[in-house]
Chains A and B, each alone.
Chain A
């Protein structure tokens, strides 16, 4: 298990994470403005990849095509795929969601599943059930050496392009007029409408942007894995949706963070031996101990009312968070005399239990240091990560973008 191996797994994880992020952003933005889970989004992504690949097949690229012509074809395929897919996204909202707006939330959800099935079948009808093969001549094939690890040039391109797109999206949402309209629409559509914002146009714009990102994601996947199938989007859509929930649905930076965690979990989970994975638990344990010993008591002490604030009382509060669980357990078992101390003791016991679990995992993993998860476990691992994180933070890592109605 060399450093190079870990590094290249990390690069793969980040690459896959970026692809998930391109799709997850569409889920999360649509959820933000409509509180609708657009289950057809995975198929929109597949369509994007199919259009790009079939454009290139139709043009007919081969190894003898000069580089600059290839770049031109590449750009053409990208533009065609983005335009067609964005139009498709716009059309889906127009036909399948807008007429149902204002109904109970389950109805547009069913409509979304219907659109998803329709698009899969449309792909079979047009392109047949066999996978579409990306012309290999167009895919950047080289490798570079980074810290002794071989990294595909394509991976570097994917990461760079995704980061660029995310920066662009952030700027659109934060810095432009249409972004302001998007944020206002997602918080209170009716009030936004009353301020002269054309909410229908804003919602359409959101679908167009989300679909364009998904199209680029589809193109990237077709290049990265060399082929696409009519149902590829199902699993990718599901993973990206998971990532969006992991980061906090409706939250744009959350979608990126969730996607990266999922991508890394999938790659590290099956690529590393348990001995190395154990270090993640060690890091988690260090963080947990920091929270228990330093962060949590400091927060509690801030809550002491001024008239009770004595060094002795502060010491009592700190003591329940100490490593020796005796004080905390004793406080819990004895009669409840002081609310703050009692609540702190319960909190401390919970934190200790969490840290113990982390410790136990680390020990078990270290003891079986040479074992490695079979790659069949990949999806299980990613969903285990999802469950573990949502158990502690039900609204996702960066929190759901909740409209606080005042």
Chain B
């Protein structure tokens, strides 16, 4: 069995009296695509925020390659190898496409303020390497980011391409684990199919992916494993087909009566 990349150990997060995430545990292994599903408000995005350090868990621990990361700052967690995209896009829209990817590499480049001011050879070499790598990453989305567009602002992109650019920016962090928050939200079926294939390609390249998704076609087509959540708790886990037919999952989506009618 492949090495465990992410190990979430019974994390809990409460907001006031609400248990947004309750005693949640799961693992993500190297080279797999795991989908997190569940009705709205079931705690999926909160889980993401707990993993990426936007929130600190009230109890429990998060381990990245056997190292505890719970309670670290988002930037530190990013540098240790978890990058993410957002449900609501958060690109730097006035910056160029290339710069957006370069910002994603910010934590990896070491040149400091003094280097920048003096324009040292070290800094220039690093800059050239970063630009080359950024272009390589943009090249992973064939035809979407031609070189002629690299200097255009991100806001000039179509919605679907902005979503792709956010994935590219996340890849720039050379992540051990990539978190995608609803990567195909708002896309038409053809576009989601393309993104789904791209996500699978990324896995084949060796990336490990944890994603939140609502689109059943994408979940069925891309994930190796699915974790279903409701009211902050894990209610099912397993192969996509298994989870989709699990009575508890059907009930969570349709309610008790709906589930009875369906079965």
Q: Name A's B-contacting residues (CB within 8 A).
A: 172, 176-181, 183-184, 187-188, 190-198, 205, 401, 403-406
Contact = CB atoms under 8 A, between A and B. Distances in A.
A194 B94 contact: no
B78 A180 contact: no
A56 B26 CA distance: 68
Given A177-B116, A197-B75, A191 B99 contact: no
Contacts of B173: 195-196
Given A176-B116, A404-B155, A406-B155, A188 B90 contact: yes
B104 interface: yes
A406 B155 CA distance: 7
Interface in B70-103: 73-76, 78-79, 83-84, 86, 89-95, 99, 102-103
Interface centre among A172, A197, A406 (most CB of B within 10 A): A406
Nearest to B111: A177
B89 A197 contact: no
B217 interface: no
A65 to B, nearest CB: 32
A187 B106 contact: no
Interface string B96-134: 000100111011110101001100000100010000000
Nearest to A168: B117
B162 A406 contact: yes
B103 A192 contact: yes
B93 A187 contact: yes
B225 to A, nearest CB: 26
B92 A188 contact: yes
B42 interface: no
B103 A404 contact: no
Given A188-B90, A401-B94, A195 B75 contact: yes
Contact of B78 (A190, A195, A205, A403): A195
Contacts of B83: 195
Q: What 8 A-B pairs are tightest by C-beta distance, nearest first?
A: A196-B107, A176-B116, A191-B90, A187-B92, A196-B75, A196-B78, A194-B74, A184-B103
Contacts of A184: 92, 95, 103, 106
A382 B91 CA distance: 39
Given A195-B173, A404-B155, A187 B78 contact: no
Task: Identify which of A191, A192, A404 gathers the most chain B CB atoms within 10 Å of its CB.
Answer: A191
A194 B95 contact: no
Nearest to B127: A177
Contacts of A183: 92, 94-95, 99
Most central of A172, A194, A205, A405 by chain B CB within 10 Å: A194
B162 A195 contact: no
A181 B92 CA distance: 11
A406 B169 CA distance: 15
Interface string B162-179: 100000010001000000
B52 A205 contact: no
A181 B95 CA distance: 11
Given A176-B117, A191-B90, A195-B103, 7 more contacts: A172-B116, A180-B99, A180-B102, A184-B92, A184-B106, A192-B92, A195-B78
Contact of A197 (B94, B106, B155): B106
Given A177-B106, A404-B155, A406-B155, A193 B75 contact: yes
A207 to B, nearest CB: 14
A200 to B, nearest CB: 10
A28 B105 CA distance: 27
Nearest to B154: A406
Contact of B113 (A178, A188, A196, A197): A178
Contacts of B123: 177
13 contacts: A177-B127, A180-B95, A184-B92, A187-B95, A194-B52, A194-B84, A195-B104, A195-B173, A196-B75, A196-B76, A196-B106, A197-B106, A404-B93
